[in-house]
Structure 1
Amino acid sequence: MPHLLRSLTAAAVIAVGLSPMAAMAEEPGEGVTVKMAQATWDTGWFHSEIYSQLLQKLGYEVKGPTTLDAPAFYQSVSQGDMDLWVNGWFPLHETYKSTIDQGAEIVGAVAKGGALQGYLVDKAAIDEFGIKSLEDFKRPEVKKAFDRNGDGKADLVACPPGWGCEVRISETLDELKLRDDINPIKAGYSASMADAIASYQSGEHVLFYTWTPNWTVNELKPGKDVMWIEATTNKDIKMPEPAKGLKTCVADPCTMGFQANDIVPVANTAFLDKNPAVRKLLEEVSIPLPDIYAQNSAMNKGDDDIKAQAAAWIEKNQSKVDGWLEAARAAAK
């Protein structure tokens, strides 16, 4: 009987002029190319590659990702020259919202509230000096403990000239009148941070700016090695909205001097309307921040095979991934 059933099935396929492979359901993306972009900051490339590989599993051909600065991407996606990226930072990128609204939209989230920026200090110094904010660096004993070049100021690993964070850090130092107390190091960020980590491992105190996701918080873990400190405790000084529920900060809420951001996909609306499977996939996917931290750290140490790292992450999270893909396929029916 089983032999008869197989023969009947084969005959049915041949009768309609199809091969058994062609008789199988096509993926929703068959024959469609996705023009994908990624940010110029390499800390965002891992999750970009994960999304790219998931789109390919739905049958889409992914062109790129093309590396673009934020202004160029938002202009391109609103005009349809690019279809999407997963490197949106909001509210930081709100300045591009009017451009986005002309033909694109935010859909889903890689990580809600996961993009933090601010200042970190080693826990030993916090315990020894009772450091709560940048303003504590006006105290002579604190300045001295963090002065690694002998100029009488506390050394802060900051950002290179031209970076958005460099502008904001400079504004903060002026607002808090800290120019005579803190020396912002503006050399190459990775090299400066590597030096700070080595100093920490030698028992010295460290003060540094960072953002997340970033490899730095995998090397010096908030809550274990370091703590976020506040930019100021003076409520009369206007600052961005504080972060709430951040257990790795010395205060809750924590006035970090930067607003917490959502990392989100941004996609062309017309493209999404034609490809409901893509819309659903973007709505479903999320990536734990510790996984991004770990990849960023490995990349910083020289493992730059991002395609292999993304494939390994997908395999490790296969059950969750299968659910996302099934939801996307169902949305296309």
Structure 2
Amino acid sequence: MLGGLLFGAIACGNTTTESSSDLPGEGITVIPAHSSLLEERFQTEIINTALEELGYETETAKELTYPTLYTAIGNGDVHYTAVNWDRLHTEFYENSGGDEQLAQIGVLTPAVLQGYQIDKKTADEYNITSLEQFKDPEIAQLFDTDGNGKANLTGCDPGWGCELVIEHHLNAYGLRDSIDHEQGQYSALIADTMVRYREGEPIFFFTWTPYWIGGVLKPGEETIWLEVPYTDLPEEQGEVSEADTTANGKNLGFVVDQMRIAANKEFVEANPAAEKLFEVVEIPIDDINAQNMLIQEGEDQPEDIERHVDEWIADNQELFDSWVEQAMEAQS
């Protein structure tokens, strides 16, 4: 019923007049969504601000788990998300209606990475470069935090999609007897990992970019990315080559991905201005990392994030204005 009401509003909102002053989004409310990670709100609010320049009203982003988020987009209860991982979220996308009910648009942030890291001090001391070396009990025991002789990996939240790849890797590389995949709320797990690092203990964790951890533990300085012995991913990700999972000369085991906008197909077909905005908007990964660091340092209230968004737009005003201009032209 909610979907019907939304699309009824969209239909009414798209009734145009002869007035050249009409904005394409007048009378239309847009509902965005992201996961429970507060760090995903920054890029969402930048897009919301651009939508408002086009006349749309926007709601505060809903926080939804996967795959519920994609189901909501497919059903029309949510209009878009700014954190669609192109390859990692393929199964969520397809199971929620695929291209018949959703659309993947633009490239918000290219070349986003995932993989396994350890602290550089331990890596240098024991000459560790590969996940495969964890088959060695002496290596695994270095990262044992609960006394069972197995390495404890700070892993991925259940439901995110990355946990499925990690579980697949443990089987594919024969690491079940060497590594325990610690799952739960990632923010709490990584906080404990940071405490161990500050105490000088070895750390072993899954991470991704963009995320604040890369600004605190910089690869090549405080940490290293681990290589995997060969590319082996769940079949849902399709045909994947070693080149697809290699970054900076290392096979990280995860596809070098891109973040796109996933939107309700009926919504974007009825709103060419919004569709064009989704197509042209792009936010550099370094800018997202920098803002995520501010959140980690305590600037995590709604007014803080609003200020971060305003400051980013002011620093990139010409680019921001070009998005809005292109969206207006698409509508006309």
- TM-score between both structures, scaled by the size of structure 1: 0.80
Question: Which residue is 2:254 aligned to?
Answer: 258
Shift of 1:317: 1.3
1:324 CA drift (Å): 1.4
Q: Which residue among 148, 153, 156 is the counterpart of 2:150?
A: 153
- Closer/same/farther in 2, CA of residues 162 and 82 from structure 1, 3 Å limit: closer
**Aligned pair in 2 of structure 1 residues 68, 145: CA closer, same or farther (>3 Å)?**
closer
2:328 partner amino acid? R
Partners of 1:215 and 1:297 within 8 A in 2: yes
User: 1:310 corresponds to which residue?
Assistant: 309
Task: Tell me how far apart the structure 2 counterparts of residues 171 and 272 of structure 1 sit (CA, whole Å).
Answer: 35
The CA distance in 1 between the partners of 2:82 and 2:62, in whole Å, is 12
**Equivalence for 1:319:** 318
Match of 1:82 among 73, 78, 81: 78
Unaligned runs of 5+ in 1: 1-22
Separation in 1, partners of 2:73, 2:159: 24
Whether contact under 8 Å (2:109, 2:283) holds in the other structure is: yes
Distance 1:33 1:159, change over 3 A: closer
Task: Quickly say closer, same or farther: Cα 1:274–1:118, change in 2 above 3 A.
Answer: same
CA 1:266–1:190: 2 relative to 1, 3 Å: closer
Taking a change above 3 Å as real, the CA distance of residues 151 and 311 of structure 1, as seen in their structure-2 partners, is: same
The equivalent of 2:198 in structure 1 is 201
What is the match of residue 52 of structure 1? 48
Question: What displacement does 1:106 show?
Answer: 1.1
Q: Which residue of 1 aligns with 2:247?
A: 246
Q: In structure 2, do the counterparts of structure 1 residues 198 and 78 end up closer, same or farther at CA, with 3 Å as the change threshold?
A: closer
Please give the per-residue CA displacement for 1:125-166, whole angstroms capped at 9, x wherever unaligned.
333322222111223442343334443333321235565433
Out of 101, 104, 110, which is 1:103 matched to? 101
Using the aligned pairs only, state the percent identity: 37
- Which residue number in structure 2 is paired with residue 7 of structure 1? none
Equivalent in the alignment of 1:15: none
Farther off after superposition, 129-138 or 280-289: 129-138
Please give the per-residue CA displacement for 1:161-181, whole angstroms capped at 9, x wherever unaligned.
Answer: 565433432332233232332
Q: Which residue of the partner structure matches residue 283 of structure 1? A: 279
Secondary structure at the counterpart of residue 101 of structure 1:
helix
Asked if the contact 1:28/1:277 (under 8 Å) is kept, the reply is: yes
| Number of aligned residue pairs | 303
**1 CA distance for matches of 2:158 and 2:94?**
25
2:135 is aligned with 1:138:
yes
1:330 corresponding residue in structure 2: 329
> Do the aligned residues in 2 keep the contact of 1:197 with 1:220 (CA within 8 Å)?
no
Larger radius of gyration between Structure 1 and Structure 2? 1
- TM-score relative to the length of structure 2: 0.80
Mapped to 1, the partners of 2:146 and 2:74 lie a distance apart of 48
